[in-house]
Amino acid sequence: MSIAAIILASDAGEDFPSPKYTTDINGVPMLRRTVERSLSWDVAERVVVLGADADSVEADIEDLDITTIEDPEWEEGLAAPIRAALDLISRDRSVTHVVVARGDQPSLSPEVVDSLIEHAISSEADVTIPKYRFDRGWPLVVGQGLWSRLLGMEGDYDLHTVVSMHAGAIEEVWFDHLAPPVLQTFGDLRRIGR
């Protein structure tokens, strides 16, 4: 039994003056900061899914111990990069869970991810989700039982809604702090004072 991580970094973002994932966060490109933090997660493999501006984004992380794939259908929405990553990961029969994380959440702590993984392994839940104070957030740990459903989905959707509709059991792990910010728009960067 092993766990893999999917880091979603395929969207173009909103109103970024340059490629979103190459945007400087205190001297380090956004995606590089996220992936460097993931290197301490207790996972066997990290798959980073690229889309918009893939060549320039990949240049920032090509020296790291990860697998990168480019999703040619990234403009479809969230379903496409998840399908691309699960298609690759599901070929390894030893992988039982995937951590689905966002490349635009560079301040996600490894302790949060490891706690989610620990709960996912010890529970019978299909999905393990962080609850930051009172809101569900990212990343999610998804068991094999939902992979076929995610592989069959199309379009843009909210992953939390999909797992709420299709998971037999959801485990929430509570954290006594706010969720690490997701930097979806250029305005989000101004709010965190990068």
Q: For 61-114, what is each residue's pLDDT tens digit?
A: 999 999 999 999 999 999 999 999 999 999 999 999 999 999 999 999 999 999
Which residues, other chains included, contact 191 with Cβ-Cβ below 8 Å and sequence gap of 6+? Answer: 181
- Rg (C-alpha) for the chain, rounded Å, is 16
- Which pTM was predicted? 0.95
Check residue 84 and give its pLDDT: 97
pLDDT value for 167: 84
For residue 134, the model assigns a pLDDT of 86
Nearest to 103 by CA among 45, 38, 168, 161: 38
3-state class (DSSP) for residue 97 = strand
Q: Would you identify the CATH topology of the domain 2-192?
A: Spore Coat Polysaccharide Biosynthesis Protein SpsA; Chain A (3.90.550)
Residue 187 is predicted with a pLDDT of: 86
pLDDT at residue 194 in the model:
56
Q: For residue 166, name the pLDDT band (cuts at 50, 70, 90).
A: confident
Contact 66, 47 (CB under 8 A): yes
Comparing CA positions, the residue from 80, 19, 134, 191 lying closest to residue 172 is 134
CB atoms within 10 A of CB 122: 10
Q: What is the pLDDT of residues 1-57, one digit of tens each?
A: 799 999 999 999 888 888 999 999 989 999 999 999 999 999 999 999 999 999 999
User: Are the beta carbons of 5 and 89 closer than 8 angstroms?
Assistant: no
How far is Cα 2 from Cα 95, in angstroms, rounded to an integer?
Answer: 5
Q: Which sequence spans correspond to the domains of the chain?
A: 2-192
DSSP E strands: which ranges in the chain? 2-9, 24-25, 28-29, 45-50, 67-70, 95-102, 127-132, 135-136, 140-143, 170-175
Mean pLDDT, the chain, rounded, equals 94
Q: Return d(Cα 107, Cα 180) in angstroms, integer.
A: 6
CA atoms within a 13 Å half-sphere pointing along the CA-CB vector of 79: 13
